[in-house]
Structure 1
Amino acid sequence: MSETEKPKLGMRAPLGIKRTVETGQVKQSFSHGRSNTVVVEVKKRRFVRPGEEVPAPEPVVEVAPAPVAAPVVAPKPVAPPAAPRALTPLERREQQERLLREAEEARMSALEEARRRDDRAKIDTTEDEKRRVEENRKAEEEARIAAEEAAAEALRNPPPQPEPEVQAAQERDGDAGRVVKPTPAGALRRPEPARPTARPRGGDDRRQAGKLTVTRALEGNEEGARARSLAALKRAREKERRAHGSGQPQAKQIRDVVIPETITVGELANRMAERGNDLIRALFKMGVPSAMGDTIDQDTAELLVTEFGHNYTRVSESDVEIDVAMDVDDEATLKTRPPVVTIMGHVDHGKTSLLDALRGTDVVRGEAGGITQHIGAYQVTLKSGEQITFLDTPGHEAFGEMRKRGANVTDIVVLVVAADDSIKPQTIEAITHAKAADVPIVVAITKIDKPEANAQKVREALLQYEVIVEEMSGDVQDVEVSALKKTGLDELTEKLHLQAELLELKANPDRAAEGSVIEAKLDKGRGPLATILVRRGTLRVGDIVVVGQFSGKVRAMIDDKGRQLKEAGPSMPVEILGLSGVPSAGDPMSVVENEARAREVALYRLKTATEQRTVSAPVDIENVFANFGAVKAMEYPIVVKADTQGSVEAIVGAVNRISTDDIKVRILSSGVGGITESDVMTAAASGAPVIGFNVRPNPKAAALAKRDRVEFQYFDVIYHLTDQVRNAMAGQLGPEIIEHVVGRAEIRQVFPAGKTGKAAGLLVTEGVIKKDLRARITRDDVIIYNGKVNSLRRFKDDVAEVKAGLECGVTFDATNDIKAGDFLETFEVEERARTL
């Protein structure tokens, strides 16, 4: 490379031996694609050895650019410089410092020049951008003005319809996105405004362009705004048509709103058929900020209803409940109904067998252990064509509540007493329930075919309970029957029919049905099932019902023979499907007008039941400290699951009666249906067993129980269940410890025995003092030692026992606190199995 040629970018000039200054060009890059070339000079520091001559720097020849055709002028030869003289060390040091100072000054000058060029470039770039933005804004403003003028001109002078050839040309040009308008000869075409090349950063002008109307959308928006689709236009027209209709404003519908004492904002909006946001906005203006789920009082709800122009009716919470007592049917609407007969009596006195003989079926085979576990409701048609509804209640003591409910819904009670067993506890209880319900009694003396049967003894035993039969000059009818021999059955049905005629049983079948729950259970495939005894009215499939704390729609009805029914009249027992939950036996059933009413009543009953369950009794300060130091009884936790609600109540009542002052049963949970994972987890938390009555666990619950080691106990007879719980509670308490005192003695004198021990001289006052027996020493009736007799001597001889009246010497194990006047008592300990 010659000295006249420029070095390439990014390359440095070749190094020379005699040159101390190097020149190069560096390319600088800036934002927005701008660049700049900078000339950089670098001076190098040279070191001169002692005795070496320092050559003079070569002159730098700068060549100015010249035209190509001009001749190149060669530089004049330079005469060689004279040989310099040798420099002293001080001069060399000063020369080095001067060279370094000149190099630093040159570097700083180059940096300052580069900074000035950079600042000038930034200022020029900013001014260029401002100028371009202003030009774009002016162009857009001119384009908008031109477009408005063109649109106004088009409205004033609409263009004529194009000729066919022009229309064809338009169709050909459709792909290019433009429309060719006809231009008359000699007319100048209006130039289209230039479109802006860049979009300003300030935002979109569509916000200031006004509302986008259908006309503007159809004309075409040359400003670049979004064109509306045909579907959007159709929706807009349909919305305007619905809003305006025939051009007249729609009249507001006035509603009658029922306002309870408390109501949520969402429920009030539903009753008013208004938007919930409007109610929330109105409440906010009143100074009551609320949400959809918040509860407001009756006065606030009244103000809202009035403000929205509706009518209101204030009701209390008690008005929500269905008042059956006030709903009395007219005498002209009443018709004769079949009697409801409940069979009561002691366990194994033949109640179900008697009902089997009347029905002609064998129900006993379906009951575990030959006893009835549930209330069975059956309707029997007699030979005369008349019908009688029978309720078969269990006779075991655990089903007292079920028998009580059975007596409350019945018309006649058949008291079953075995001729060979006479009066029993449950017989007395059945008499009490019948009298409390003020229900007439018909005594059926069963098992009359047995040789040891004595019907007269039964009649005489009933006298002490104020049940006087006709043969004993009373008004109670009695019949001797034998379910095995089928004797006395016709006489029993005749007397039941006669008793029903005396009662004049009537009901109105042409009204909404009302009834009571006889039994309820949870079926795995069909859901909650309830056995309903209709008292009055007719229950039909599809009716909306409220049963206790649950509501639902009757999806199906099944009678006692398993047949599907469409309707059920008074005194007819049916099993219904479609409830939201499993009600309790004895809950009332009512048919209501709609589902909203049913939910309202069910929620009110649930709220009332919850309040009664959670409200605690007032605390007595005197009893707080008395109970604080009392010894708490042990708890035996269990989880109970049964097939029906009545069985659950019976089991809970039975196990609670087993509780004593030492140990009590704690029911962790109880319910209807099979054993689930939730039951297993509840039991595992407390180490409790899961008791299943006629139910089994599902596979997941069984696997979880195996993992957590939860015990399952299955039963189908209730007294087997109570016996198991009783034995388990006794086992948790442990064996009963009983002490038997063997002998008593008085310590007369104390002697030293060995280095540290002591021996006591005793006078046996009672019983026998034996070696190796448990012993206690008392001083002033306070026990100071409890251990055993270590050795027993009589005149230096070891003996096994010393009787009363004799003296002896004894030593004790690990005690030296013995004084004259103390008393010794030896005893034996016996462990017995505890029973509850």
Structure 2
Amino acid sequence: MPAGKPADVRGRVGEDDDARGKRGKAGAPVKAVSQTRGEPKRREGRLTLQAVVGDGEGSADRMRSLASVRRAREREREKRKGSQAEQTRAAREVIIPDVITVQELSNRMAVRAVDIIKMLMKQGMMLKINDIIDTDTAELVATEFGHTVKRVSESDVEEGFIDAEDHSDDTVVRPPVVAVMGHVDHGKTSLLDALRKADVAAGEAGGITQHIGAYQVRLPAGEKVTFLDTPGHAAFSAMRARGANVTDIVVLVVAADDGVMPQTIEAINHARAAKTPLIVAVNKMDKHEANPQRIINELLQHEVVVEALGGDTQIIEVSAKTGLGLDNLIEALLLQAEVLDLRANPDRTAEGVVIEAKLDKGRGPVATVLVKRGTLKRGDIVVAGSSWGRVRALINERNEQLAEAGPSEPVEILGLDGAPDPGDTLAVVESDARAREITEYRQRLRREKMVAPVGAVSLTDMMSKLQDKRLKELPLIIKSDVQGSTEAIIGSLDKLATDEVRARIIHSGAGAITESDVQLAKGSNSPIIGFNVRASKQARDLAEREGVEIRYYAIIYDLIDDIKGVLSGMLAPIQRETFLGNAEVLEVFDISKVGRVAGCRVTEGRVEKGARVRILRDNIVIQEMGVLSTLKRFKDEVNSVVVGQECGMAFNGFQDLKAGDFIECFTVEEIKRTL
């Protein structure tokens, strides 16, 4: 064997027979050499590795290469993986939330993300692995891969927070909830005091109720009636609306010597919108000026028909001062409650509504709650709006500690982590985790609403922004004793806004004025308005050092009037022009060191030194000169020249005077505007 032959054999180890076909001298392929056991045969063709190392027991087929075996094994493995994936896909349930990325969908489906992207590309959607897809697209993809879909939403955390209505067999009769409404100073609180044998009105600033109160009256016969005392001032419309929406009966208090007033009409509309029965109590019947027939006639104008005229509205004549007709009013309320058949289930978890909330120094957030159904107990975990906590104490209107509160019973609760908004629904939940889940979701929603949406700017938006640049704003920080008063103040200030000025509320809340409020006021260059609250000593000292103004108010009338006055001062004054006279230019003289001087004759009215002038040529204004500073008659400087007389005038900066021009003289008066 030649010396180069073994090297040639070694160089061919591991090659595939398919790629290494035998070729003859002319390059044509030749048949592979095969041997059969026991039959020696002459070797043909080129020497191969099989021929050299073979033991003579090879099969009739060619030996497969290592690479070919690996490819076959890989194909088999892919087939097994595919069959397992098919089996898994058929049994998988994919949960799809409101927002999901391609990667997250891939993980939940146990499918490669590239396969999902390929499918979306076929649908004409070019997405990356971290892009967000909508719920419908995600459901389509999961269905195409053979999965079943379960769609969920973030709002599902509130499912079960308010239970379904109770079965009538589980309910018992509950006390009626009565809202007392009416105009300012018509005697609402005094009438309630007469029923409660208490004196609440004497402690109210200005003699008006400025926040809502909830009281329960216990009658000698054992019956109970819950009263909600609502403010009568125009600023408290939202509070009166809440009072009508949570009550069963509305008592409309009308002064017999005053008649139907604007807030009386508003209360009628609130009761009608809430579809609540109305009982009219004509108060102050002890006065000589009392005229109940006039009240009946005025109520007819607003579609309130009393029983005496064939209607369905009861009218009771009462006097909070002498106690006249109070028994008749209670009897009418109990009769109306019996007709309504008010019932609730006390043997269940409590649900109610927040009437009022405040921050009390020493006690923290305090919420006045009206229980609607169920029994609220001390130690229950409650959620009210975006606040939650464990009830540490239940206190009624008599300042008594209670172990539990049943349906239609108003109580103050302590233990919340913040002051909820009036009107928020309150309910008992089973655990701290459930309470946190609900409140975190609601707080997130509130933050998202406060963030302005980012998107394409339309022409309308651009125009509104240009108009806003001309808008003058008065920044304010408002702190009050209760949330309802804050809401009423903000609502009243919003009504004062015009296209030119408005009050912008930087921050508002219930509780005392703190150092953080002063720091915020300094940063925003705004005053602090305190309504029935005071600043702490540290906050007062900081305000004095930083030059921050703090204004205190006890009556909402004064607060609104003061802010109205400030906003009025921010309005641009009206400029009123008053015509004085005209002068015709007869001749123009060039005088050295002075310029051109117009020799004029006053043709109409008079010309005054210090008045404003404009030059007209062919009845067209060509120049407005400002103030006339030089006015001479002959050689003397004079203050005014009347009609028919001649005078000389000089204008600085304007030399294009011609004979025949007219000089119009006028004054401008600035008039202050008010809201």
TM-score exceeds 0.5: yes
Match of 2:555 in 1: 717
Matched, 1:673 2:486: no
| Offset, 1:599 | 1.4
Which of 304, 320, 333 pairs up with 1:467? 304
Match of 1:772 in 2: 610
> Following superposition of structure 1 onto structure 2, how do residues 648-659 of structure 1 map, counting pairs within 5 Å?
648-659=486-497
CA change 1:492–1:622 in 2 (3 A) is: same
CA change 1:664–1:609 in 2 (3 A) is: same
Gaps of 5+ in 1: 1-257, 265-281, 289-294, 299-311
Cα distance in 1 for residues equivalent to 2:604 and 2:492 = 48
Match of 2:140 in 1: none
Moved more, 728-737 or 500-509: 728-737
Which of 785, 791, 801 pairs up with 2:631? 791
1:556–1:564 Cα contact (<8 Å) kept: yes
CA change 1:514–1:636 in 2 (3 A) is: same
Matched, 1:261 2:100: no
| Offset, 1:383 | 3.0
Cα distance in 1 for residues equivalent to 2:540 and 2:111 = 58
1:737–1:829 Cα contact (<8 Å) kept: yes
Match of 1:819 in 2: 658
Cα distance in 2 for residues equivalent to 1:388 and 1:747 = 89
| Offset, 1:598 | 1.4
Match of 2:180 in 1: 343
Cα distance in 2 for residues equivalent to 1:498 and 1:504 = 10
Letter in 2 for 1:728: V
Moved more, 752-761 or 577-586: 752-761
Match of 1:371 in 2: 208
Which of 705, 726, 730 pairs up with 2:564? 726
Q: Which has the higher contact order (CA 8 A, sep 6+)?
A: 2
CA change 1:731–1:752 in 2 (3 A) is: same
Match of 1:222 in 2: none
Cα distance in 1 for residues equivalent to 2:586 and 2:398 = 88
Letter in 2 for 1:318: S
CA change 1:399–1:537 in 2 (3 A) is: same
Which of 273, 277, 281 pairs up with 1:436? 273
2:181–2:232 Cα contact (<8 Å) kept: yes
CA change 1:770–1:643 in 2 (3 A) is: same
Match of 1:480 in 2: 317
Matched, 1:402 2:236: no
Report the secondary structure of 1:577's partner residue: strand
1:743–1:764 Cα contact (<8 Å) kept: yes
> Following superposition of structure 1 onto structure 2, how do residues 123-202 of structure 1 map, counting pairs within 5 Å?
none
Match of 2:126 in 1: none
CA change 1:776–1:506 in 2 (3 A) is: same
2:584–2:660 Cα contact (<8 Å) kept: yes
Match of 1:759 in 2: 597
Report the secondary structure of 1:532's partner residue: strand
Match of 1:781 in 2: 621
| Offset, 1:601 | 1.6
| Offset, 1:743 | 2.6
Match of 1:327 in 2: 164
Moved more, 708-717 or 775-784: 775-784
Letter in 2 for 1:741: F
Question: Per-residue displacement from partner, 1:738-770 (whole Å, max 9, x unpaired)?
Answer: 443323444454333454332324454543322
TM-score if structure 1 supplies the norm length? 0.61
Match of 1:705 in 2: 543
Match of 1:636 in 2: 474
Which of 503, 517, 522 pairs up with 2:354? 517
Match of 2:674 in 1: 835
Identity between Structure 1 and Structure 2 (%) = 53
2:615–2:621 Cα contact (<8 Å) kept: no
Cα distance in 1 for residues equivalent to 2:454 and 2:294 = 49
Matched, 1:582 2:419: yes
| Offset, 1:825 | 3.0
1:545–1:598 Cα contact (<8 Å) kept: yes
| Offset, 1:835 | 2.4
| Offset, 1:786 | 1.2
1:261–1:297 Cα contact (<8 Å) kept: no
CA change 1:677–1:796 in 2 (3 A) is: closer
Gaps of 5+ in 2: 1-93, 101-106, 114-131, 136-148
Cα distance in 1 for residues equivalent to 2:332 and 2:161 = 32
Question: Per-residue displacement from partner, 1:286-307 (whole Å, max 9, x unpaired)?
Answer: 999xxxxxx9999xxxxxxxxx
2:478–2:507 Cα contact (<8 Å) kept: yes
Moved more, 496-505 or 779-788: 779-788
Report the secondary structure of 1:496's partner residue: helix
Which of 685, 693, 702 pairs up with 2:531? 693
| Offset, 1:454 | 2.1
Cα distance in 2 for residues equivalent to 1:465 and 1:782 = 61
Matched, 1:740 2:578: yes
Report the secondary structure of 1:347's partner residue: coil
CA change 1:507–1:600 in 2 (3 A) is: same
| Offset, 1:429 | 1.4
CA change 1:620–1:259 in 2 (3 A) is: closer
Cα distance in 1 for residues equivalent to 2:429 and 2:156 = 14
CA change 1:337–1:618 in 2 (3 A) is: farther
Question: Per-residue displacement from partner, 1:67-95 (whole Å, max 9, x unpaired)?
Answer: xxxxxxxxxxxxxxxxxxxxxxxxxxxxx
| Offset, 1:571 | 0.5
Matched, 1:535 2:372: yes
Match of 1:165 in 2: none
1:520–1:582 Cα contact (<8 Å) kept: yes
1:775–1:824 Cα contact (<8 Å) kept: yes
Cα distance in 2 for residues equivalent to 1:675 and 1:370 = 25
CA change 1:749–1:715 in 2 (3 A) is: same
| Offset, 1:626 | 2.9
Match of 2:448 in 1: 611
Match of 1:553 in 2: 390
CA change 1:473–1:777 in 2 (3 A) is: farther
Cα distance in 2 for residues equivalent to 1:786 and 1:835 = 28
Question: Per-residue displacement from partner, 1:161-209 (whole Å, max 9, x unpaired)?
Answer: xxxxxxxxxxxxxxxxxxxxxxxxxxxxxxxxxxxxxxxxxxxxxxxxx
1:758–1:816 Cα contact (<8 Å) kept: yes
Cα distance in 1 for residues equivalent to 2:454 and 2:317 = 52
Moved over 6 A (4+): 285-288, 295-298, 795-798
| Offset, 1:476 | 1.1
CA change 1:543–1:296 in 2 (3 A) is: farther
Question: Per-residue displacement from partner, 1:222-265 (whole Å, max 9, x unpaired)?
Answer: xxxxxxxxxxxxxxxxxxxxxxxxxxxxxxxxxxxx9893899x
Cα distance in 1 for residues equivalent to 2:542 and 2:188 = 42
1:787–1:812 Cα contact (<8 Å) kept: no
| Offset, 1:377 | 0.3
Report the secondary structure of 2:158's partner residue: coil
Cα distance in 2 for residues equivalent to 1:580 and 1:324 = 19
2:630–2:637 Cα contact (<8 Å) kept: no
Q: Which has the larger radius of gyration?
A: 1
TM-score if structure 2 supplies the norm length? 0.74
Letter in 2 for 1:261: P
Match of 1:317 in 2: 154
Question: Per-residue displacement from partner, 1:3-40 (whole Å, max 9, x unpaired)?
Answer: xxxxxxxxxxxxxxxxxxxxxxxxxxxxxxxxxxxxxx
1:515–1:589 Cα contact (<8 Å) kept: yes
1:514–1:536 Cα contact (<8 Å) kept: yes
2:598–2:648 Cα contact (<8 Å) kept: yes
